[in-house]
Structure 1
Amino acid sequence: MTYDSARAAFADWGVDTEAAIKTLLSIPISVHCWQGDDVGGFERKTGASGGGIQATGNYPGRARNAAELRADLEFAYSLIPGMHRLNLHAFYLDTDETPDRDAIEYRHFATWVDWAKEQGLGLDFNPTFFAHAKADDNLTLSHPDAGIRAFWIEHGRRCREIAARMGAELGSPAVNNIWVPDGSKDIPVDRMAARRRLEASLDAMLAGDLPKTQIIDAVESKLFGIGVEAMTVGSHEFYMGYAIRRGTALCLDMGHFHPTESVADKLSAVALSVDHMLLHVSRPMRWDSDHVVLLNDDLLAMAQELVFADLLARTSIGLDFFDATISRTAAWVLGVRNMQKALLRALLLPQDRLKSAEAALDYTTRLVLTEEAKDLPFAAVWAEVCARANMPTGAALLSDLDAYQASVSGR
């Protein structure tokens, strides 16, 4: 079907495809750097990933340094319509120096900012509370040892300053997302003590106001992880309460909840009490396994809730998956484009008619419209989005992805 035919088909449903395309292209998605090197980072004295994080596979082409990672990202962005962001973890510093994490400074990330300016990208940031000797017990900000807590508090404080400087340099606030792996492998007897320590550490780390035009502080919960099966200190309830009390953003990661929970359902509930939300869009398989995002029911529900609840302006969308069994650049491209396809589908639904039917308790009309809308020519509108950006779809996309992969497989 041609785009003109698709546009007419949607118009019959009262949907303006041009308005939907315009809105879609205004939504930045933060691409996670850690897919490109299997969550290894570029510190010169790190160990393997920890904190329940594990990338499986050994597909050729892993980025070995910041220059290679940036080249891979440039290729990925060249196949993704719109203008987006990069989500950077603190252990991806680009320097010949060897600062420990409580000594990192903005200059260790300046090349990333220069590159982002050249590419027209925004930057987001994350303190790295794992893959370090002082996180070996899966305890950081809640550690009983005050000295270890002080180390991680200082790391987090410096990351806030770095993120704010990034936001100032790029003219767009950087989301500074805080996730810690803290928890217990077996059943603890004093959960309250650990949570009080985490709360106090967060308060110390977040002390001092920084301009909201430069930084958005966010906190991220988790259900459990490898080595913290019995109790996660920073649970959803803990961080939900903290975000409300302290006025931070709340991060909802699609892999950080029980498999039967709907993260899409949480959005409107959280939005009543929290001003800003951060999404980490992932595909859990059994638990937080971080598979590449598919255009599945979970993703479609998430996008529809963002659109129908009018939450796009209050939500930062970032991706979070890492798979070393497939081409890393292909994973980026496929994941971001699937997120965009889900958003586009939501924007192309007859929202007013559906809401009116529901408000009138006319569930028959709601159901019929919902099901019949599935036959609308969404793919033709997506193809138009890509054509306007001179980007391939279908088999042509695979050809481009394969060609780039061949060029980096010798690394």
Structure 2
Amino acid sequence: MSENISRAYELAKERYAEIDVDVDKALQILKTIPISVHCWQGDDVAGFERDDGALGNGLAVTGNYPGRARTAEELRNDLELAYSLIPGKHRLNLHAFYGEFHGSIDRDEIGIEHFQSWMDWSASHRISLDFNPSYFSHTKAVDGFTLAHQDAGIRQFWIDHGIACRKIAAAMGEAQGNPCINNFWVPDGFKDTPASRKAPRERLADSLDKIFAEEISRELTLDAIECKLFGIGSESYVVGSHEFYLGYAISRNKMLCMDAGHFHPTEVISDKISSVLMYVPELLLHVSRGVRWDSDHVVTFNDELQAIMHEIVRGDYLSRVHIGLDFFDASINRVAAWAIGTRNTVKALLVALLEPTQKLQALEKEGNYTARLALMEEHKSMPWSAIWDYYCQACDVPVGAKWLETVGQYERNVLSLRSQESVTH
């Protein structure tokens, strides 16, 4: 271990001890908090059902950086490199159309056998899996509706897909020994003003009730439902709004998923965490960065990211909040995007854990808002980066920007060659 990093760490510990923060305890807690890294950053949300990689249904990926993963094996190789650059032990979030199908398998027919290779990889690398049904990029979703479709046959197709995904998630949870979070997001909505906002929401609630009709142990899988303000092609009306899913989650005892880019540009999810956790059992976060809209930019170490993590720690919600990522950028190296976004998320968690929360809350209870504000501001210049460097080194991952050298070499030796090679799914 570098003597300079160790010396800086010890000095930083002394500084934090002066404000009653136990740095060793903070790092012990940090090691126990997994981030669910999303698979779709590595291949531009293309999946492995077909070769055209067409998206649609409210999704778009911009950029054409070389080296997109074209097979599950390539994606797993890229993920392994990304995990080696990120301190801590984390999870993987899979979408349903990332199975290995080896033939014409429609989404209402998928089974755990199509994800066996992912489960084998998960076991060998001790990386637990989360899951998502895929309600987009499909011929039965071309008009913008799935579970809320007027056609009962199309609704049933997507209901069957959701039921199949719950069984897959439960099998994953049983195999890995901890619950697989299964998150439902649907793109249903209208481009222009609807004549009835009520009817699609009634159909969506009925479809979800059918999907969740079978009781599955929470030790195997946790069902989550994700809201959205608008999407491409659903600018005027989204069936699954925040209010719809909040009510559904409360009344059906489901986990609510909040995405940082799924609200009005003036709204932030950090302000909603304490409110929704009064009424729902657990919360799933899709940490992203919207720029003027739900554009899923790579997570940076910005004010909202830090506010999210502060809110989780200050509210003592670490056992009830599950943190996942959701961004996709094809304009930069995709492995680097994973590393940047996930490292920033872990950094923000560390900073929140290093805050003298009890002291701040005691000052607030006393009505000493002057001291509260002063300490909050002074904390921003505390030497947390020395703790971060030590944590990275202790986890045997690169310190500072040294990880870029590893990514650069991988790009030269692997990613840059993919456009020159043929591939067989």
Common fold by TM > 0.5:
yes
Q: Structure 1 residue 46: deviation in Å?
A: 6.7
User: For 2:211 and 2:281, how far apart are their aligned partners in 1?
Assistant: 21
Rounded Cα–Cα distance in structure 2 between residues aligned with 1:382 and 1:243: 36
Q: 1:173 aligns with which of 160, 172, 179?
A: 179
Is contact 2:47–2:53 with CA below 8 Å preserved after alignment? no
**1:150 aligns to what?**
156
* Aligned AA (2:8): T
388-397 vs 318-327, which deviates more? 388-397
Q: Helix, strand or coil: the match of 1:298?
A: helix
Q: 2:313 aligned with 1:323, yes or no?
A: no
Deviations 1:212-243 (A, max 9, x none): 00000000000000000010000000000000
Does the 8 Å CA contact 2:39/2:92 hold for their aligned counterparts?
yes
2:28 matched to 1:22?
yes
Which whole-Å CA distance do the structure 2 matches of 1:49 and 1:356 have between them? Answer: 51
- 1:205 and 2:211 matched: yes
**CA-to-aligned-CA distance 1:189-229 (integer Å, 9 cap, x gap):** 11100000000000001111001000000000000000000
SS at match of 1:216: strand
Superposed displacement of residue 394, structure 1: 2.2
In structure 2, the partner of 1:342 is 348
Partner of 2:416: 409
Name the SS of the counterpart of 1:285 in structure 2.
Answer: coil
Shift of residue 47, structure 1, vs aligned partner: 5.6
1:75 to 78, 81, 90: 81
TM, length-normalised to structure 1? 0.99
Q: Secondary structure at the match of 1:384?
A: helix
Residues in 1 aligned to 2:394 and 2:141: alpha-carbon distance in whole angstroms: 48
Partner of 1:377: 383
Which residue number in structure 2 is paired with residue 119 of structure 1?
Answer: 125
Number of the residue aligned with 2:243: 237
CA deviation string 1:44-87 (max 9, x = no partner)? 37761122111100001100000000000000001111111100
Q: Contact 1:89/1:128 (CA < 8 Å) preserved in 2? A: yes
The RMSD of aligned alpha carbons is 0.9
- 1:128 partnered with 2:134: yes
Three-state SS of the structure 1 residue aligned to 2:417 is coil
In structure 2, what is the Cα distance between the partners aligned to 1:47 and 1:103?
Answer: 20
1:163 to partner: Cα distance: 0.3
Q: Distance in 2 between matches of 1:367 and 1:167?
A: 44
Indicate the residue corresponding to 1:13 in structure 2: 19
Q: Match of 2:286, SS?
A: strand
Q: Distance in 2 between matches of 1:45 and 1:247?
A: 39
1:101, 1:155 within 8 Å by CA — same for their partners in 2?
Answer: yes
Q: Quick one: distance in 1 between partners of 2:76 and 2:245?
A: 33
Number of residue pairs the alignment of both structures matches:
411
Distance 2:68 2:51 in 1: 19
Q: How much has 1:393 moved relative to structure 2?
A: 2.1
**Structure 2 unpaired stretches of 5+:** 1-6, 419-425
Deviations 1:107-132 (A, max 9, x none): 00011000000010110000000000
Aligned-partner Cα distance in 1 for 2:53–2:90: 31
Paired residue type of 2:319: A
Change over 3 Å in CA distance of 1:46–1:208 after alignment to 2: farther
Which residue does the alignment assign to 1:160?
166
Counterparts of 2:249 and 2:124 in 1: how far apart (Å)?
34
Task: Say whether the 8 Å CA contact 1:357–1:366 is kept in structure 2.
Answer: yes
Query: AA paired with 1:175?
Result: I
Give the corresponding residue for 1:296.
Answer: 302
Is residue 268 of structure 2 the alignment partner of residue 257 of structure 1? no
Shift of 1:396: 1.4
Q: Give the conservation status (yes or no) of the 8 Å contact 1:46–1:131.
A: no
Residue 346 of structure 1 aligns with an amino acid whose one-letter code is A
| Cα displacement (A) at 1:172 | 1.0
Describe the superposition over 1:265-318 as per-residue Cα deviations: whole angstroms up to 9, x where unpaired.
100000000001000000000111000000000000000000000111001110
Instruction: Note the alpha carbon deviations across 1:93-115, whole angstroms, 9 max, x for none.
Output: 11313210010011000110000
Helix, strand or coil for the counterpart of 1:288? coil
Structure 1 runs of 4+ with >6 Å offset: none
Between the aligned residues of both structures, percent identity stands at 55
The aligned residue for residue 226 of structure 2 is 220
1:366 aligned residue (372, 375, 400): 372
Unaligned runs of 5+ in 1: none
Shift of 1:392: 1.1
Amino acid across the alignment from 2:190: S
